[in-house]
């Protein structure tokens, strides 16, 4: 069975299979080897997991394809869980919205104010204050090895 599973072409899979850790990636590998998910779902989950790791560890925002991979993986896993538990799960509506051809990536723009065409309509939200800003309401979490100080001077 292991020989057959190694024949599947998934990026970085051979390095992963030789690891001694038990991570979410290993759990996905097991459900793949047991035949609960197909190669397409395995690849989607792997891409979503890599995008999550880039976001958590490097602060890189996921692109629309990574978000779609994540949502599609969620639907696939929900369908799997429901089939195992013999729960009726109708996924047509979810698939229709997730794979809609007309859907596009939300756009964000960061420009210098002199480069912005202010005659265009903009939709924005005010960012909530963070600890240390003037309008922050609340205390500060304290950590023994980190000192947090306000970034403004009270007048």
Q: What is the pLDDT along the chain (155 residues), one digit of tens a residue?
A: 455 555 666 676 677 667 667 788 888 988 999 999 999 999 999 999 999 999 888 888 888 889 888 988 999 999 899 999 998 888 887 777 776 654 555 555 566 777 777 777 666 667 777 776 777 787 766 677 776 666 665 55
* Phi and psi based region of residue 138 (left: phi greater than 0; alpha: psi -120 to 50; beta: remaining): left
Going through the chain in order, the beta strands assigned E by DSSP cover none
pLDDT given at position 116:
72
Please state whether the predicted TM-score (pTM) of the whole model is above 0.85.
Answer: no
């Amino acid at each position: 069975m292991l020989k057959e599973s190694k024949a599947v072409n998934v990026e970085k899979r051979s390095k992963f299979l030789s690891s001694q850790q038990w991570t979410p990636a290993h759990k996905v590998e097991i459900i793949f080897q047991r035949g609960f998910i197909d190669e397409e779902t395995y690849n989607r989950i792997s891409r979503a997991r890599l995008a999550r790791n880039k976001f958590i560890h490097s602060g890189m925002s996921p692109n629309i394809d990574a978000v779609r991979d994540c949502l599609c993986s969620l639907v696939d896993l929900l369908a799997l869980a429901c089939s195992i538990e013999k729960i009726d799960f109708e996924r047509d509506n979810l698939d229709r919205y997730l794979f809609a051809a007309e859907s596009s990536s939300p756009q964000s723009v960061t420009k210098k104010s002199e480069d912005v065409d202010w005659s265009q309509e903009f939709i924005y939200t005010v960012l909530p204050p963070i600890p240390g800003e003037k309008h922050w309401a609340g205390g500060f979490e304290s950590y023994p090895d980190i000192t947090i100080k306000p970034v403004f001077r009270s007048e």
